[in-house]
Amino acid sequence: MTSAGPSAETNAAIDRAYRDAYGSVLATLIRFLGGDFDAAEEALADAFATALETWPRDGIPTTPAAWLTTAARNRAVDRIRRDKRQAEKLLLLEREAADTEVAAMRLGTEGGLADDRLRLIFTCCHPALALDARVALTLRTLGGLTTPEIARAFLVPEATLAQRLVRAKRKIRQAGIPYRVPLGEELPERLDSVLATLYLVFNEGYLASTGDTAVRHELCAEAIRLAALVAELMPDRAEPHGLLALMLLQDSRREARVGRDGSIALLDEQDRALWDRAEIARGVAALDRGLAAAARLSHASVGRYLLQAAIAAEHARTVDGRATDWRAIATLYQALARVDPSPIVELNRAVAVAQAEDPAAGLALLDEVAARGELAGYHLLPAARADLLRRLGRLAEAATEYERALSLCDNDAERRFLRRRLAETRG
């Protein structure tokens, strides 16, 4: 066996530092540079380049994150010093330098610069930025994903994504989006925006209709990591725990979700042995922390993520699908419809009621949803009607609904499922 040479070892250490520390070091640098994302990114890139040169020679520093922070800060100060017009800025920075030094020392010891990362996430997910810009910026800065990686994940040309990032950073600078954690009345609205952004990243990875599986998996993992970070940094808020729980519980079913032929397996058809029990346990623990936090909050209303997580947990804790407590699930959907009224929630509630009572009761609710017309064009409505009609033995009507669902659906895996069902109905 050949042992890995010193350069392989340092390369691995640099990769690890990039993965683990990119977001938190960048967050600190952005604060140090008065909210200048571009200067911070440049300085950090410089620091990584320096690490590639010096670590093989001088050895890997004990706390790579602290080393990178100091190196990047020095490079940023050098650059500013060279630019005489920025003399004023330099004064300001030198005043803060001592403070950053202290902060850098804390990195890697007690999870140190948590505040900086929290600031960064609130800035990247500011509602004054378009949702696609929030997603790109969050993944690039906090996730440390590269521009080509993000472009691949969202199936947009690299140039488009790069432009999106430039515009977002420009808006932050030009419009004066602050680099801080919002307080008081502002917090719930802003936290919603953060959680919505993270959930979008997750869903893009989880529900994606097309694209590279590995990249998609990366998106889910990144969303989970960031949700865990927010939950850890704001332990008293209920919804971050709820979102984390929801993501973990959905992700635990990943392996069982797509059948051997590549079609989507519905919950009642999934091989539950493929569910990731360890991930379920983490999800349920997050749910419990969220419910405890909700109970402690004065205006204790349980939010949409906690409710959805509670629904996912009902499924996850049932090893035999036939034992599912559909009554509990229907009740949770009813509560969800109050907190977050939407035709999709009504559709899901109808499906739960069909299971808890009988298909006819579910069909009646579905017809109410259909009558409102908001879901015209959404393939899951005819798909759900088709399923209930099939179970009621109304096969000709079911076939018509499967055909309608097929005409509206562009996800290959789901189309395979619908075609299979259509064939069974006709068979």
Partner 1 sequence: MRYMLLIYGEETQQDDASDDAPEISPPWLEYTSWLLREGIHSAGERLATSSSATTIRVRDGNRLVTDGPFAETKEVLGGYYIIDCEDLDKALEAAARCPAAFGGSVEVRPIIGMPAPETVRAANTAG
Q: Look up residue 3 and give its DSSP letter.
A: P
How many whole angstroms separate alpha carbon 330 and alpha carbon 246?
Answer: 17
Q: Which is nearer to partner 1, 15 or 186 (CB)?
A: 186
How many whole angstroms separate alpha carbon 33 and alpha carbon 77?
Answer: 9
Minimum CB separation from partner 1 for residue 317, in Å? Answer: 35
Beta carbons of 328 and 265 less than 8 angstroms apart = no
Interface with partner 1 (CB under 8 A) = 126-130, 133, 167, 170-171, 173-178, 182, 186, 189
Q: Which is nearer to partner 1, 201 or 389 (CB)?
A: 201
Q: Which is nearer to partner 1, 189 or 368 (CB)?
A: 189
Minimum CB separation from partner 1 for residue 179, in Å? Answer: 9
Beta carbons of 64 and 21 less than 8 angstroms apart = yes
Please work out, in degrees rounded to the nearest 5, the angle formed at the alpha carbon of residue 83 by the alpha carbons of 105 and 73: 10
Minimum CB separation from partner 1 for residue 111, in Å? Answer: 27
Q: Which is nearer to partner 1, 101 or 186 (CB)?
A: 186
Minimum CB separation from partner 1 for residue 127, in Å? Answer: 4
Q: Which is nearer to partner 1, 129 or 366 (CB)?
A: 129
Minimum CB separation from partner 1 for residue 137, in Å? Answer: 12
Beta carbons of 264 and 414 less than 8 angstroms apart = yes
Q: Which is nearer to partner 1, 5 or 178 (CB)?
A: 178
Q: Which has the closest alpha carbon to 384: 405, 356, 357, 415?
A: 405
How many whole angstroms separate alpha carbon 418 and alpha carbon 427?
Answer: 14
- Residues 6 or more apart whose CB falls under 8 angstroms from that of 255 comprise 274, 275, 276
Minimum CB separation from partner 1 for residue 78, in Å? Answer: 22
How many whole angstroms separate alpha carbon 377 and alpha carbon 218?
Answer: 30
The H-or-E segment that residue 80 falls in is: helix 64-82
Q: Which is nearer to partner 1, 197 or 425 (CB)?
A: 197
Task: Report how far apart, in Å, the C-alpha atoms of 359 and of each of 19, 190, 231, 389, 399 are.
Answer: 49, 41, 39, 8, 17
Minimum CB separation from partner 1 for residue 181, in Å? Answer: 11
